[in-house]
Amino acid sequence: MRFDRLLPVLSLAGLTLGCNHHHDDKKWTAEELAELEAKWGFDWAFGGIGTFAHLNHAKCLTEPTEPYDIAIIGAPFDTAVTYRPGARFGPRSIRHASGRQHSFRGYNPRANINPYQNWAKIVDCGDIPITPIDNDISQKQMTQALEQLGMRRTVSYISSKPKLFTLGGDHSLTLPALRALKKVYGDREIQVLHFNGTENLVYLSVDIDVLDPAFAPGTGTPEPGGFAHYQGAGEETTFAAAQVVYEILTSMVKRGLQDLGRSDKAIKDEL
């Protein structure tokens, strides 16, 4: 090959390399990064990545140095059910149902605090990668994951060990959770509150127009895009689960503030 033909090729290659490294070599100042965060860092309640209540996401199981005070962790597992499966989609559905919650609109009038803008660093740790075809292996995986997450260091001095919210999943999750708590807290006594039905009377009002007109054409107020008769129970369950997490999380944060500086036995609150 002649040299006069090779020279334009080399020049073109150098131009390409120069373009590739044009933006990566920029040194960003703290002011510029703050400006980018102010301009693009905000997510509305209807946008953003689908974490619980739009919390920051961290792969806590593969990032052992990530600290937090309260963590949300999903356990997508339903191999232990005796009837219809589907609870493995629970963590994803609960996160979706929590989309109306947000740090800037998380004020809880019952507790008079916003748990998302308080002393606790709360993160969504994603899901435990559970093997779905062997219950013994799955139980061990969940136990090991919850134990590892429960041993993590906290950000605030208010709590010596982090608190975990586990989104299931079928009810067999209780066993690995208790095993993990035993290893995390040692000989300390652990009390279990098991909510599995109630004898109290409950009034639940569901208007017929919550269903799509295709399934309830006789409604006086048809609402297109409503639930199918199969979806109704599942949607109600996920919204209720997201609200339960929010209420208990609020009480945890409030309890931490009330116990701050106390040396005597803590006074019981609504949690």
DSSP state of 167: E
pLDDT values of the chain reduced to their tens digit, one per residue, 271 residues? 555 555 555 455 554 544 555 556 788 999 999 999 999 988 787 888 899 999 999 999 999 999 999 999 999 999 988 888 888 999 999 999 999 898 888 999 999 999 999 999 999 999 999 998 899 999 999 999 999 999 999 999 888 899 999 999 888 898 999 999 999 998 888 888 776 666 665 555 666 677 788 877 866 678 788 777 666 667 777 888 898 899 999 999 998 876 654 545 544 444 4
CA triplet 31, 36, 42: central angle to 5 degrees? 130
Intra-chain end-to-end CA distance of the chain, in Å: 81
The domain spans of the chain are 44-194+230-258, 198-229
Strands (E), 141-258: 163-168
Contacts of 56 (CB under 8 A, 6+ apart): 123, 124
CB 176 within 8 A of CB 143: yes
> What integer pLDDT is reported at residue 112 of this predicted model?
94
Q: How far apart are CA 184 and CA 151, in angstroms?
A: 6
> What integer pLDDT is reported at residue 265 of this predicted model?
52
Per CATH, which fold does 44-194+230-258 belong to?
A: Arginase; Chain A (3.40.800)
Backbone torsions φ then ψ of 57, nearest 5 degrees: -105, 140
CB 69 within 8 A of CB 155: yes
Mapping DSSP to helix (H, G, I), strand (E, B) and coil, where does residue 108 land? strand
Which residues on neighbouring strands pair with residue 127, listed in sequence order?
74
Q: Which of 244, 208, 253, 249 is nearest to 229 (CA)?
A: 208
> What integer pLDDT is reported at residue 160 of this predicted model?
87
Task: Please compute Rg for the chain using Cα positions.
Answer: 25
> What integer pLDDT is reported at residue 193 of this predicted model?
76
